[in-house]
Protein backbone atom coordinates (compact mmCIF):
# COMPACT_ATOMS: atom_id res chain seq x y z
CA UNK A 1 0.00 0.00 0.00
CA UNK A 2 1.58 3.27 -1.12
CA UNK A 3 1.92 6.47 0.90
CA UNK A 4 -0.82 8.17 -1.13
CA UNK A 5 -3.28 5.47 -0.13
CA UNK A 6 -2.20 5.64 3.51
CA UNK A 7 -2.58 9.42 3.53
CA UNK A 8 -6.03 9.25 1.93
CA UNK A 9 -7.27 6.43 4.16
CA UNK A 10 -6.09 7.94 7.43
CA UNK A 11 -7.31 11.41 6.42
CA UNK A 12 -10.74 9.93 5.71
CA UNK A 13 -10.76 8.16 9.08
CA UNK A 14 -9.94 11.38 10.91
CA UNK A 15 -12.46 13.31 8.81
CA UNK A 16 -15.06 10.67 9.68
CA UNK A 17 -14.42 11.28 13.36
CA UNK A 18 -14.99 15.00 12.82
CA UNK A 19 -18.14 14.33 10.78
CA UNK A 20 -19.57 12.03 13.46
CA UNK A 21 -18.86 14.47 16.28
CA UNK A 22 -16.27 12.21 17.90
CA UNK A 23 -13.93 15.19 17.56
CA UNK A 24 -15.94 18.24 18.63
CA UNK A 25 -15.89 21.62 16.83
CA UNK A 26 -13.48 24.06 18.44
CA UNK A 27 -11.34 21.30 19.88
CA UNK A 28 -7.84 20.33 18.84
CA UNK A 29 -7.13 17.52 16.44
CA UNK A 30 -4.61 14.91 17.64
CA UNK A 31 -1.08 16.22 17.17
CA UNK A 32 1.32 15.10 14.47
CA UNK A 33 3.01 12.87 17.04
CA UNK A 34 -0.31 11.34 18.18
CA UNK A 35 -1.45 10.64 14.61
CA UNK A 36 1.93 9.08 13.80
CA UNK A 37 1.75 6.84 16.86
CA UNK A 38 -1.89 5.77 16.44
CA UNK A 39 -1.53 4.79 12.78
CA UNK A 40 2.11 3.65 12.92
CA UNK A 41 3.37 6.33 10.52
CA UNK A 42 6.36 8.59 10.35
CA UNK A 43 5.81 12.20 11.37
CA UNK A 44 6.21 13.56 7.85
CA UNK A 45 3.29 11.41 6.66
CA UNK A 46 1.22 12.38 9.71
CA UNK A 47 1.88 16.05 8.88
CA UNK A 48 0.70 15.45 5.30
CA UNK A 49 -2.50 13.86 6.63
CA UNK A 50 -3.32 16.80 8.89
CA UNK A 51 -2.53 19.14 6.02
CA UNK A 52 -4.99 17.24 3.87
CA UNK A 53 -7.69 17.67 6.52
CA UNK A 54 -7.03 21.41 6.35
CA UNK A 55 -7.41 21.32 2.56
CA UNK A 56 -10.70 19.43 3.03
CA UNK A 57 -11.95 22.33 5.15
CA UNK A 58 -12.28 20.18 8.29
CA UNK A 59 -9.65 21.96 10.39
CA UNK A 60 -7.85 25.30 10.61
CA UNK A 61 -4.12 25.40 11.33
CA UNK A 62 -2.75 27.82 13.92
CA UNK A 63 0.98 28.26 14.49
CA UNK A 64 1.97 27.20 17.96
CA UNK A 65 -1.49 25.76 18.68
CA UNK A 66 -2.13 22.98 16.20
CA UNK A 67 -5.14 22.05 14.07
CA UNK A 68 -8.48 23.33 15.40
CA UNK A 69 -11.62 21.44 14.35
CA UNK A 70 -14.15 23.44 12.34
CA UNK A 71 -17.92 23.20 12.70
CA UNK A 72 -18.10 21.56 9.29
CA UNK A 73 -21.87 21.12 9.24
CA UNK A 74 -22.55 24.77 9.94
CA UNK A 75 -19.63 26.35 8.09
CA UNK A 76 -18.74 23.92 5.31
CA UNK A 77 -19.28 24.62 1.64
CA UNK A 78 -20.35 22.26 -1.13
CA UNK A 79 -17.04 20.37 -1.19
CA UNK A 80 -17.23 19.77 2.56
CA UNK A 81 -20.86 18.64 2.26
CA UNK A 82 -19.87 16.21 -0.47
CA UNK A 83 -17.20 14.66 1.74
CA UNK A 84 -19.55 14.61 4.73
CA UNK A 85 -22.16 12.73 2.71
CA UNK A 86 -19.71 10.04 1.62
CA UNK A 87 -18.34 9.70 5.14
CA UNK A 88 -21.85 9.50 6.63
CA UNK A 89 -22.58 6.06 5.13
CA UNK A 90 -21.75 4.22 8.41
CA UNK A 91 -24.42 6.40 10.11
CA UNK A 92 -27.64 5.59 8.22
CA UNK A 93 -29.90 8.19 9.87
CA UNK A 94 -27.44 10.98 9.07
CA UNK A 95 -26.94 9.69 5.52
CA UNK A 96 -30.70 9.57 4.88
CA UNK A 97 -31.19 13.11 6.16
CA UNK A 98 -28.37 14.41 3.98
CA UNK A 99 -29.59 12.50 0.93
CA UNK A 100 -33.07 13.96 1.38
CA UNK A 101 -31.57 17.44 1.22
CA UNK A 102 -29.49 16.54 -1.84
CA UNK A 103 -32.55 15.18 -3.64
CA UNK A 104 -34.59 18.26 -2.72
CA UNK A 105 -31.97 20.51 -4.30
CA UNK A 106 -31.56 18.31 -7.39
CA UNK A 107 -35.31 18.14 -7.87
CA UNK A 108 -35.67 21.92 -7.78
CA UNK A 109 -32.88 22.52 -10.28
CA UNK A 110 -33.99 19.74 -12.65
CA UNK A 111 -37.67 20.78 -12.61
CA UNK A 112 -36.81 24.43 -13.19
CA UNK A 113 -34.52 23.49 -16.08
CA UNK A 114 -37.08 21.25 -17.77
CA UNK A 115 -39.94 23.74 -17.42
CA UNK A 116 -37.81 26.74 -18.39
CA UNK A 117 -36.49 25.01 -21.49
CA UNK A 118 -40.01 23.91 -22.44
CA UNK A 119 -41.07 27.58 -22.34
CA UNK A 120 -37.97 28.87 -24.14
CA UNK A 121 -36.93 29.07 -27.79
CA UNK A 122 -35.43 25.55 -27.48
CA UNK A 123 -32.15 26.29 -29.22
CA UNK A 124 -30.60 22.85 -28.79
CA UNK A 125 -30.49 20.52 -31.78
CA UNK A 126 -32.85 17.66 -30.83
CA UNK A 127 -30.48 15.23 -32.57
CA UNK A 128 -27.85 15.93 -29.89
CA UNK A 129 -30.31 15.10 -27.13
CA UNK A 130 -31.61 12.03 -28.94
CA UNK A 131 -28.11 10.57 -29.27
CA UNK A 132 -27.72 10.63 -25.48
CA UNK A 133 -31.24 9.27 -24.98
CA UNK A 134 -30.50 6.46 -27.44
CA UNK A 135 -27.47 5.51 -25.33
CA UNK A 136 -29.62 5.70 -22.21
CA UNK A 137 -32.16 3.36 -23.81
CA UNK A 138 -29.46 0.88 -24.92
CA UNK A 139 -28.18 0.74 -21.34
CA UNK A 140 -31.68 0.51 -19.84
CA UNK A 141 -32.56 -2.47 -22.02
CA UNK A 142 -29.29 -4.28 -21.47
CA UNK A 143 -29.00 -7.44 -19.40
CA UNK A 144 -27.18 -5.59 -16.60
CA UNK A 145 -27.88 -1.83 -16.82
CA UNK A 146 -25.13 0.40 -15.44
CA UNK A 147 -26.90 2.92 -13.16
CA UNK A 148 -23.75 5.02 -12.75
CA UNK A 149 -23.44 5.55 -16.50
CA UNK A 150 -27.19 6.12 -16.91
CA UNK A 151 -27.29 8.76 -14.20
CA UNK A 152 -24.22 10.41 -15.71
CA UNK A 153 -26.05 10.66 -19.05
CA UNK A 154 -29.13 12.19 -17.44
CA UNK A 155 -27.03 14.73 -15.56
CA UNK A 156 -25.32 15.55 -18.87
CA UNK A 157 -28.70 16.18 -20.51
CA UNK A 158 -29.73 18.54 -17.72
CA UNK A 159 -26.34 20.26 -17.94
CA UNK A 160 -26.94 20.96 -21.64
CA UNK A 161 -30.34 22.50 -20.91
CA UNK A 162 -28.94 24.70 -18.15
CA UNK A 163 -26.06 25.81 -20.39
CA UNK A 164 -28.46 26.74 -23.19
CA UNK A 165 -30.66 28.63 -20.74
CA UNK A 166 -27.65 30.50 -19.34
CA UNK A 167 -28.29 29.18 -15.82
CA UNK A 168 -24.61 28.91 -14.89
CA UNK A 169 -24.98 28.91 -11.09
CA UNK A 170 -27.62 26.17 -11.19
CA UNK A 171 -25.37 24.19 -13.52
CA UNK A 172 -22.48 24.49 -11.06
CA UNK A 173 -24.67 23.30 -8.17
CA UNK A 174 -26.02 20.43 -10.29
CA UNK A 175 -22.45 19.41 -11.14
CA UNK A 176 -21.59 19.32 -7.43
CA UNK A 177 -24.72 17.31 -6.66
CA UNK A 178 -23.76 14.87 -9.41
CA UNK A 179 -20.31 14.43 -7.89
CA UNK A 180 -21.83 13.79 -4.45
CA UNK A 181 -24.26 11.18 -5.71
CA UNK A 182 -22.04 9.41 -8.24
CA UNK A 183 -19.40 8.46 -5.66
CA UNK A 184 -21.95 6.74 -3.37
CA UNK A 185 -23.33 3.53 -5.00
CA UNK A 186 -26.43 3.43 -2.75
CA UNK A 187 -27.33 6.96 -3.84
CA UNK A 188 -26.87 6.12 -7.54
CA UNK A 189 -29.11 3.05 -7.21
CA UNK A 190 -31.78 5.13 -5.47
CA UNK A 191 -32.22 7.32 -8.54
CA UNK A 192 -33.47 4.21 -10.34
CA UNK A 193 -36.21 3.50 -7.83
CA UNK A 194 -38.44 3.26 -10.90
CA UNK A 195 -37.58 1.26 -14.01
CA UNK A 196 -34.78 2.71 -16.17
CA UNK A 197 -37.18 2.30 -19.11
CA UNK A 198 -39.41 4.96 -17.54
CA UNK A 199 -36.49 7.39 -17.49
CA UNK A 200 -36.09 6.83 -21.23
CA UNK A 201 -39.83 7.31 -21.87
CA UNK A 202 -39.87 10.61 -19.98
CA UNK A 203 -36.91 11.99 -21.93
CA UNK A 204 -38.45 10.88 -25.25
CA UNK A 205 -41.75 12.51 -24.29
CA UNK A 206 -39.97 15.75 -23.40
CA UNK A 207 -38.09 15.83 -26.71
CA UNK A 208 -41.36 15.21 -28.55
CA UNK A 209 -42.87 18.24 -26.80
CA UNK A 210 -39.81 20.35 -27.59
CA UNK A 211 -40.00 19.37 -31.28
CA UNK A 212 -43.68 20.21 -31.57
CA UNK A 213 -45.06 23.66 -32.27
CA UNK A 214 -47.70 23.39 -29.58
CA UNK A 215 -46.44 23.38 -26.01
CA UNK A 216 -48.00 21.38 -23.19
CA UNK A 217 -51.21 22.54 -21.56
CA UNK A 218 -51.33 23.87 -17.99
CA UNK A 219 -52.93 20.60 -16.90
CA UNK A 220 -50.14 18.58 -18.51
CA UNK A 221 -47.49 20.74 -16.82
CA UNK A 222 -49.20 20.33 -13.45
CA UNK A 223 -49.36 16.56 -13.95
CA UNK A 224 -45.68 16.47 -14.87
CA UNK A 225 -44.74 18.40 -11.71
CA UNK A 226 -46.80 15.99 -9.58
CA UNK A 227 -45.21 12.93 -11.19
CA UNK A 228 -41.75 14.46 -10.83
CA UNK A 229 -42.37 14.99 -7.12
CA UNK A 230 -43.64 11.42 -6.70
CA UNK A 231 -40.56 10.08 -8.46
CA UNK A 232 -38.21 11.93 -6.12
CA UNK A 233 -40.19 10.70 -3.14
CA UNK A 234 -39.55 7.15 -4.36
CA UNK A 235 -35.85 7.96 -4.75
CA UNK A 236 -35.59 9.02 -1.10
CA UNK A 237 -37.60 5.97 0.01
CA UNK A 238 -35.31 3.64 -1.95
CA UNK A 239 -32.25 5.16 -0.31
CA UNK A 240 -33.85 4.75 3.14
CA UNK A 241 -34.51 1.11 2.32
CA UNK A 242 -30.95 0.50 1.16
CA UNK A 243 -29.62 2.05 4.38
CA UNK A 244 -32.00 -0.01 6.54
CA UNK A 245 -33.69 3.09 7.91
CA UNK A 246 -37.35 4.07 8.00
CA UNK A 247 -37.83 7.77 8.68
CA UNK A 248 -41.17 9.48 9.16
CA UNK A 249 -42.04 11.47 6.04
CA UNK A 250 -42.66 14.51 8.24
CA UNK A 251 -38.94 14.83 8.95
CA UNK A 252 -37.87 14.64 5.31
CA UNK A 253 -37.36 17.88 3.35
CA UNK A 254 -40.76 19.14 2.25
CA UNK A 255 -39.87 19.34 -1.42
CA UNK A 256 -38.86 15.71 -1.45
CA UNK A 257 -42.40 14.69 -0.64
CA UNK A 258 -44.28 17.44 -2.43
Q: Are residues 227 and 240 in the same domain?
A: yes
The per-residue pLDDT for 255 is 38
Please answer whether residues 49 and 14 qualify as being in contact, where contact means their C-beta atoms are separated by less than 8 angstroms.
yes
Total domains, the chain: 2
Among candidate residues 19, 44, 75, the one where a domain is terminated: 75
Q: Are residues 82 and 71 in the same domain?
A: no
* Mean pLDDT, 10 residues at a time, the chain of 258 residues: 74 92 94 96 95 94 92 90 92 93 97 94 91 97 94 97 97 96 97 95 94 84 94 97 74 40
Q: Are residues 65 and 179 in the same domain?
A: no
CATH number at residue 20: 1.10.10.10
CA 14 from chain center: how many Å?
22
Per-residue burial over 96-135, b if 16 or more Cβ lie within 10 Å, else e, is bbbbbebbbbbbebbbebbebbbeeebebeeeebeeebee
Query: If you write DSSP's letter for every residue of 84-129 in order, what string do you get?
Result: HHHHTTTSHHHHHHHHHHHHHHHHHHHHHHHHHHHTS---S-HHHH
Could you give phi then psi for residue 122, rounded to 5 degrees? 55, 65
Which of 191, 154, 158, 151 is closest to 172 using CA atoms?
Answer: 158
Which residues contact residue 201 at a Cβ distance below 8 angstroms, ignoring those fewer than 6 apart?
A: none
Q: Are residues 115 and 210 in the same domain?
A: yes
Query: What angle is formed at CA 225 by the lines to CA 156 and CA 95, rounded to 5 degrees?
Result: 65
Cα–Cα separations (whole angstroms), residue 161 to 13, 113, 116: 39, 6, 9
Range of the domain at 63: 3-75
The per-residue pLDDT for 252 is 45
CA 139 from chain center: how many Å?
22
Amino acid sequence: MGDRTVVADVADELARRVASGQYAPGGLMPSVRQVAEEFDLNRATAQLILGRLESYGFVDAFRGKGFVIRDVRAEGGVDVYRRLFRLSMPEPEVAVEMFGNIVEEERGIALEALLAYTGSERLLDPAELKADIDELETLARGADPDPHRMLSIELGLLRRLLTTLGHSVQRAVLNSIGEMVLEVPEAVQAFFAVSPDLHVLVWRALVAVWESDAGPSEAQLALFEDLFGMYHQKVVARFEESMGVQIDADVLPHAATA
